[in-house]
Amino acid sequence: MIKRKLLSPFQKFVNLQSSSGILLLATTIIALIWANSTFSESYQSFWNYELGFTSDSFELKKPLILWVNDGLMAIFFFLIGLEIKREFLIGELNSTKKIMFPLFGAVGGIALPVILFIFLNQNPDTLKGWGIPMATDIAFALAIIKVLGNRVPLSLKIFLTAFAIVDDLAAVLVIAIFYSSNLNLLMIAIALVMLAIIYFLSNKGYYSDFATLIFGFIIWLLFLKAGLHPTLAGILMAFAVPVRQKISTHELTAQLETIVEKIKKSSILQKPLLSPHQLVLIDEMEDWAEKYQSPLQTLENRLHNWVAYVVIPIFALANAGVAINSAGELENMLIINIVICLVLGKSIGISAVIFLARKLKIITVPQDISNKQIIGVSFLAGIGFTMAIFIASLAFISSPEYIDSAKIGILIGSFISAIIGFSILRFKTVKGRFDHS
């Protein structure tokens, strides 16, 4: 009962991510047109405009694009952290049986693209981009699945969502370990002590949105100044948000019944306006209702629309604007490498590992998912967009030409993966049939 109430409705999530994917596509096209139009200089100057403040002892001043990538994206990572925690505690990853299918898919979808990238790379300076083809953009992928309608079973949508979450977790670890440099260990230690304090308080039942915001900002700032990528603060703070409600269903209903009876007794005169006593009772009812809500679920619901319709589209607008006409300055082999890794690395890696694990009877694949659908969704996993561009901006932070090359490779590879995945999945297979041979 409690579990059912805590889980966000999956269909609502799919609808939200699908419409977000359409908006993401629109902002990407706008960014590309803007960056390649006669107003291209305004695109670069706008996103490189510096904002912030400086003093004799402290400086916090960054180009607008870095405020997006380091600041606004911390909210995106906070939401990812909430989703990861929910899935592992009460969702599709909360048991060994549930996690094995998407976990093996994620392992294949992470390992082969990375191996391919390293194997095909010919320039030592671009080797740092090996993490680019790791993660799947769930918004774009689910937008395509939404268009396919009932050709795609619900179990396949859940599989795609689950392994994308595992992908994101792996990408976060890679960012923390491999894409942070010149670390200030004292600042990191202070941040970790603050995290330990808020984890302890949360575990003891003391939780406040205001305290989470204040602690989160300070930890974000410490990570930023310490050389650790500040968006990681979003992930770590999300794990401090409790899943469980403060009161049980029985306690809530008992309290509400008592309050309702009091309201009935004080409503005999049927006045059009509430009495002061009735207003107190209504406020008390709202307090009990708030205690009954899961803090994690409440924050997820509040943030989903903001992230889907504001944060990610702004990120796309700031990062997807590549000047295609500057082809002479691009690293063509990097572009080709990323395209191959996204299109072939993801599709072969995911489907091959799943088929092998199923053959060895390590995993069980739902009966309504066919081989063809696994291959189709494996190609959709090659849509790397958001996280791929984010990692590219970290890997080549001092090499703009490599960032542009990586973005072009990501855009081309994601587009090809989307077309192939859609083409495979659009032909509906017989429901309930699965080839176990």
pLDDT in tens, 208-232: 888 899 999 999 999 988 888 888 8
Hey, what CATH topology would domain 2-61+94-180+300-425 get?
Na+/H+ antiporter like fold (1.20.1530)
Looking at residue 70, its pLDDT comes to 87
SS3 annotation, 325-385 = HHHHHCCHHHHHHHHHHHHHHHHHHHHHHHHHHHHCCCCCCCCCCCHHHHHHHHHHCCCCH
Adjacent-strand bridge partners of 222: none
Q: How confident is the model at residue 268 (pLDDT cuts 50, 70, 90)?
A: low
Where along the chain do its domains lie?
A: 2-61+94-180+300-425, 246-292
Name the token pair of 265.
Answer: 């007794």
Neighbours of 271 (CB within 10 A): 10
Q: How confident is the model at residue 267 (pLDDT cuts 50, 70, 90)?
A: low
Per cent of the chain over pLDDT 70 is 88
Structural element, H or E, at residue 124: none
Residues 125-141: tens digit of each pLDDT: 999 999 999 988 877 78
Residues 95, 100, 106, 112, CA torsion sign: positive
Which of 9-18, 163-172, 301-310, 348-357 has the highest mean predicted lDDT (pLDDT)? 348-357
Which distant-in-sequence residues (6+ apart) come within 8 Å of 127 by Cβ?
Answer: 118, 121
Q: How confident is the model at residue 16 (pLDDT cuts 50, 70, 90)?
A: low
Q: How confident is the model at residue 1 (pLDDT cuts 50, 70, 90)?
A: very low
